[in-house]
Amino acid sequence: MRVIASKSHAGSETDRGELIATWTCLVLTSAAFGLAILELTAPVAQHPSVHLLWQGTLLLAVVGSLIYGSFVYQVTRIGCLRRQSAHRPETHEELARQFTATDAPSVCVLIPSYREEPRVVLQTVLSAVLADYPNRRVVVLFDDPPADACNPLSALTQGRQMVRDLQDDVAALHLRIRQQREAFRTRTGHAAAHPDVEAERLALLYEACADTTERFGDPFRLSHSAAFGHADALFLARVIDVPAAQHRARAASLREAVVDLDVLMAEYDRLASLFSVEITCFERKAFANLSHQANKAMNLNSYIGLMGGHFRREAAPDGTCLVPCSAQEAELSVPEADYVLTLDADSMILNDYILRLANAMQQDKRLAVAQTPYSSFPGAPSVLERTAGATTDIQYFVHQGFTSLHATYWVGANALLRLSALRQIETKVEERGHAISVFIQDRTVIEDTGSTIDLVRCGWRLLNYPARLSYSATPPDFGSLVIQRRRWANGGLIILPDLVRLWLARGRHTIGSVEFIIRAHYLASPLLGNLAFLLFLLVPFDTAFATPWLPAAAIPYYALYTRDLYRAGYQRPVDIFRVYALNLLLIPVNLTGVAASIRQAVTGRKSAFGRTPKVDGRTGMGPGQVLLQFGMLALAGIGCLTNLITARYSYAAFTAFNTAFIAWGITTMIGWREAMQDLSPILPRWLRVAEPTLPLTQPVLQDDPAQAAPDRLVMASASSGPRGKTTAREPA
């Protein structure tokens, strides 16, 4: 993926053409929808009856929900195109000159990790360590239970050792740079420094930094993992090779240019600042007075609450506690920071991520969150991973449109957060008799979305930076995708009342109607889009309501969606059909996430946080999801036959079309054999399918194992819904 640069004339012409096309589609959608309404209300007006009235009302609600998503998508697309046309980013060199070691705001990179593969965490940590930005720390927040018979302790041990080894390597390189800088300063003070000789010494040091950077990538060059190979390729190309090439380019320029001693001193300072990074880890569950709530939000909250403080360990009846103390007696001191960068352990940032986002934050002091919606790793080996990645890559455009309409949501895979803003929305809760600070909401499993409303209520703004600067893993099989997308679909309905109250409020900080419409769709689309499409597919509507204007209203949306897939790098015509099939399969997944929201709202019991597995083996989807997939296929097929028998030929064509796509999706993205393997636990022994040759893993809940793992969404209709970690809701 390319980073957006200054627009050429050709690029401006392309954007103008895309804008015209989008406005045209918006007008066509509006006209077709208006004509559809006229035709749908005509039968009720001409032949009033209870049957026609309820069917007409239901059909209008269904169509209205789907068109709502279509309008949101097209309006946000216009906003995205305008932002991209106006974007004039500084060059990397210009930004690097602005942020020197002496005046750069401090950044603490927090990487929450729960039972992650060490190799996955290592990539994430290295992407933060090699970022071209001074004055930063990297902290891995290991959340594995420290003493648990079910805990893969070896992975936790490997993780701790990985952090120590990486810190030692970086510290050794930093020490070498500082020693050579001091030697240069001594020679300069004694007038014993010759510019050409000193330039060569510094060039050799830059080459040593390039060599060390390349060595960090050696484990991934030697890896031949089928599941992680495409992620390794991107990591090597964009995280390792780019900074290494930059170091070698500076070495070459030092040898070619005539430089004075002051310039060389500045280069030594810059190089020292790049590798002056502390890498450490923290385990909140080792301390009784920190939150042990099993979710990512409280893992982050526990460390953020310690920042800027000094602590000593103290024994208590329920375990070891961290007690505030003076700096002199502290056993643990947690430095203050201007910004906190939260980075999921399966994500990576590019070399200039912090530079660009910190620059945006410095220019707007009311920005609380700056982020770039993550992109999927290109070159996925499986059809499912490639298709699921396409649905999240599309969300990059949608979220840019959100920012243009002042409706940005914080998407949790990566974000640069202003610490003072988090402290303004701080609340206190009691847990096991201890007062716990909460900065990031943990009321739902979509903690970033809930915290967005809190920040907006306090007058803070959020930004999606218009360039692809981060990448995150996409589930490679349907079982792990179920966990992720169910979590994404869970929580929006719980947060929606907060948004409504904010819209209706008459205080200093409120939101306008357009912003409310966009934000409300993001929260409600898991229910509206998926349920509407399911009803449209399964309910046998009267032939009196058959109208060609309904498909006509949908065509502009799908045309633009196809175009955006092409712009995102998916240039094969079959990709749009695969996305459609995947979103049909995700209808029951998303609706189970919505059901978890409703259950939480009724019972008050928080949903479990389901961690998305990142493993070489296949993750089972569970018998329940298999039955839902087979059930939807059967109902669609029965609906097709029913419509044929009752001469509803237009509806029969629609249901036949979707039945075929559901069957195709199961065949290509789930697999009939794999589905039967997951169904085997509830089948008679003689019907069971043999165990898979690849290891079959089970989902890991970061909470009570008896609870279902709710996950977050993708749309099965015209929608843009929650997410970024990943980031995404998408239309079918």
Tell me how far apart the alpha carbons of residues 510 and 498 are, in angstroms, rounded to a whole number. 12
CB 283 within 8 A of CB 157: no
In whole angstroms, give the CA distance from residue 277 to residue 543: 68
Find where tokens 């980031």 sit: 727
> Does the structure show a pLDDT above 60 at 48?
yes
**348 class by beta-carbon count within 10 Å (0-12 exposed, 13-18 middle, 19+ buried):** buried
> Could you give the CA distance from residue 308 to residue 246 in angstroms, rounded to a whole number?
34
Structure tokens belonging to residue 551 = 């498909």
Q: Where residue 540 falls among pLDDT bands split at 50, 70, 90?
A: confident
Q: Which of 202, 212, 195 is nearest to 250 (CA)?
A: 202
With 0-12 / 13-18 / 19 or more C-beta atoms within 10 angstroms meaning exposed / middle / buried, residue 54 is exposed
**Residue 717's pLDDT is what?**
33
Q: How far apart are CA 655 and CA 645, in angstroms?
A: 13
Give the burial class of 8: count Cβ atoms within 10 A of its Cβ; 0-12 exposed, 13-18 middle, 19 or more buried: exposed
Query: DSSP string of 651-705?
Result: HHHHHHHHHHHHHHHIIIII-HHHHHHHHGGGS-GGGPPPPPSS-EE--EESS-T
Question: 686 or 192: which carries more pLDDT confidence?
Answer: 192
Mean pLDDT of the chain: 87
Percent above pLDDT 70 for the chain = 90
Query: Out of 11-25, 491-505, 511-525, 606-620, which region has the weakest mean confidence (pLDDT)?
Result: 606-620
Q: Residue 718 — very low, low, confident or very high, per pLDDT cuts 50/70/90?
A: very low
Determine the pLDDT at residue 162: 93
Say whether pLDDT at 203 is over 50: yes
**Per-residue pLDDT tens digits for 436-490:** 999 998 888 888 899 999 999 999 999 999 999 999 989 999 999 999 999 999 9
SS3 at position 141? strand
Q: How much is the average pLDDT of 546-573? A: 93
Please compute the mean of the pLDDT values over residues 307-318 and round it to a whole number.
94
From the number of C-beta atoms within 10 Å of its C-beta (0-12, 13-18, 19+), residue 173 rates as buried
**Mean pLDDT, residues 501-525 taken together:** 90
User: How many CB atoms are located within 10 Å of the residue 254 CB?
Assistant: 22
Arithmetic mean of pLDDT, 50-63: 90
pLDDT at 182: 95
Q: Tell me, what's the pLDDT at 720?
A: 39
- If DSSP codes are grouped into helix, strand and coil, which group holds residue 98? helix
Tell me, what amino acid is at 500?
V
Site of tokens 């701080």: 426
Cα-Cα-Cα-Cα dihedral of 44, 48, 53, 57, to 10°?
30
CA 369 vs CA 81, 209, 239, 351, 720: distances in Å: 22, 32, 23, 19, 20
Kind of pairing between the strands at 332-334 and 339-343: unpaired
pLDDT over threshold 90, residue 284:
yes
Task: Enter the DSSP assignment of 183.
Answer: H
Pairing of strands 375-376, 332-334: unpaired
User: Does residue 102 have a pLDDT over 60?
Assistant: yes
**pLDDT attached to residue 612:** 75
For the record, the structure tokens of 681 come out as 């636990």
Q: What is the C-alpha to C-alpha distance for residues 535 and 531, in angstroms, rounded to an integer?
A: 6
Question: Residue 702 — pLDDT band, cuts 50, 70, 90?
Answer: low
Mean pLDDT for the stretch of residues 216-234: 86
User: Are the beta carbons of 418 and 455 closer than 8 angstroms?
Assistant: no
- Helix, strand and coil content of the chain, in percent to the nearest 5, comes to 60, 10, 30
Bridge partners (DSSP) listed for residue 314:
321
- Residue pointed to by tokens 């399918």: 689
Residue 644 main-chain phi, psi, to 5 deg? -65, -45
- Range 290-294 contact pairs with CB under 8 angstroms and sequence separation of 24 or more: 290/322, 290/434, 290/436, 291/431, 291/436, 292/431, 292/432, 293/431, 293/442, 294/143, 294/608, 294/609, 294/701, 294/702, 294/703, 294/704
Pairing of strands 434-438, 427-431: antiparallel
**Rounded alpha-carbon distances, angstroms, from residue 481 to 582, 583, 591, 618, 620:** 11, 12, 14, 11, 10
pLDDT at position 446 is 85
pLDDT at 730: 31
- Say whether pTM exceeds 0.85: yes
Tell me what pLDDT residue 697 has.
56
- State residue 692's pLDDT score: 53
The confidence score (pLDDT) of residue 631 equals 94
The per-residue pLDDT for 150 is 53
**Span 336-376, pLDDT tens digits:** 999 999 999 999 999 999 999 999 999 999 999 999 988 99
Helix (H) or strand (E) holding 431: strand 427-431
CA-closest candidate to residue 621, choices 675, 701, 660: 675
Pairing of strands 700-701, 618-619: unpaired
Contacts of 710 (CB under 8 A, 6+ apart): 445, 486, 487, 489, 490, 491, 592, 593, 596, 597, 607, 608, 610
CA distance 292 to 281: 17
* Angstrom distance (rounded) from CA 594 to CA 61: 19
Mean pLDDT across 306-321: 94
Element of type H or E holding 518: helix 513-538
pLDDT score of 726: 35
Cα separation of 408 and 519, whole Å? Answer: 8
Contact 128, 138 (CB under 8 A): yes
Least confident of 39-43, 166-170, 319-323, 627-631: 39-43
pLDDT over 70 (residue 153): no
Tokens of residue 641, six digits? 């036959």
For the chain, which residues make up each domain, given as ranges? 1-88+473-732, 92-363
Residue-wise over 117-127: b if at least 16 C-beta within 10 A, else e?
A: bbbbbbbbbbb
Q: Which residues pair with 583 in a beta bridge?
A: none
Query: What would the DSSP string read from start to end of 621-651?
Result: --HHHHHHHHHHHHHHHHHHHHHHHTT-HHH
State phi, psi for 558 to the nearest 5 degrees: -65, -30
pLDDT confidence of 115, banded at 50, 70, 90? Answer: confident
